[in-house]
């Protein structure tokens, strides 16, 4: 009887390890997808900045798509102006060129996508 208990206990341990490994693989897949999605978003934001915003505005720290702002947008993915103001630190938002904000925010939100429903 003791031997049977040991076998059952070992089986439970093996099942637990297998389940844990499967969860790690699933998480890794999600992280990889997330990173590639974020890289694609970053490329689109840089393309918007370099090909459209740069035609009318100086690209500097006050640009709506400065390197710091791009990182914040990717990190928080706001979907409208209210979300932008709530999620991104005011020390960054307060310095953004308001003309750029008004002119390009909808395009930026479109690139960032809609929130999950």
Domain boundaries, the chain: 35-112
Per-residue pLDDT tens listing for the chain (117 residues): 656 566 656 667 666 666 666 655 555 544 555 778 999 999 999 999 999 999 999 999 999 999 999 999 999 999 999 999 999 999 999 999 999 999 999 999 999 996 554
pLDDT at 25: 57
Please give, one letter per residue, the 3-state secondary structure of the chain: CHHHHHHHHHHHHHHHHHHHHHHHHHHHHHHHHHHHHHHHHHHHHHHHHHHHHHHHCCCCCCCCCCHHHHHHHHHHCCCCHHHHHHHCCHHHHCCCCHHHHHHHHHHHHHHHCCCCC
């Amino acid at each position: 009887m003791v031997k049977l208990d040991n076998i059952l206990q070992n089986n439970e341990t093996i099942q637990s390890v297998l389940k844990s490994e499967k969860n790690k693989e699933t998480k890794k897949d999600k992280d990889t997808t997330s990173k590639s999605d974020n890289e694609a978003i970053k490329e689109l934001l840089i393309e918007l900045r370099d090909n459209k915003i740069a035609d009318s505005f100086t690209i500097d720290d006050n640009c709506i798509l400065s390197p710091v702002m791009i990182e914040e947008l990717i990190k928080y993915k706001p979907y409208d102006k209210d979300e932008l103001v709530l999620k991104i630190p005011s020390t960054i938002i307060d310095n953004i060129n308001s003309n750029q904000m008004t002119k390009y925010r909808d395009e930026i939100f479109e690139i960032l996508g809609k929130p999950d429903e």
